[in-house]
Amino acid sequence: MNITIDFETSHLVFPTVIGVILAILGLAILVRDRRRIAAAGSYWRETLGWMDKKRFFGTLVLTLIYFSLMVPVGNFWPNTGYGFLFCSVPFVFLSGLLFMHDWTLRGIIPLAIVAVVGPTFVWWLFTYPLFLTLP
């Protein structure tokens, strides 16, 4: 069982081994669960049927916008962390609204306070005492 490994190509050894194992296991699953896999279409239709689309996709979209804006916004004030601060406040507030069921003042006011105080405190904590870089 002698094996010579050339250092130049050694980065491919393990991925190949793992890839082959993965393929074998994947094949085994395909064979064993073929019925379930064949029924995937109806499974997903069902899932999409009962899922709360507004909240699920709303969360995804908000998160995408949040992540995308952080760096460009932060670039206006380099290395201050304002990108994080100015994006987190609306994100916390809007996603809170999205998750909230009854939009009442009694519900919204605490959320608004958390949405302003939370990110501001975290921003202060990371910028000053912890001295870490934020976007």
Q: Looking at residues 74 to 113 of the shown chain, list those that interact with other proteins (rule: CB under 8 A).
A: 76-80, 82, 84, 86, 88-93, 95-103, 105, 107-108, 110-112
35 binding other proteins? (CB under 8 A):
no
Q: Does 66 bind other proteins (CB under 8 A)?
A: yes
CA-CA-CA-CA torsion sign (96, 101, 105, 110): negative
Choose, by CB under 8 A, the member of 1, 35, 38, 49 that binds other proteins.
1
Write the binding mask 11 to 30 for other proteins: x where contact by CB under 8 A, - elsewhere: xxxxx-xxx-xx--xx-xx-
Is residue 38 a contact residue for other proteins (CB under 8 A)? Answer: no
Exposure string of 99-134, with b = 16+ CB inside 10 Å and e = fewer, is eeeeeeeeebeebbeebeeebeebbeebbeeeeeeb
Which structure tokens are listed for 86?
Answer: 């100015």
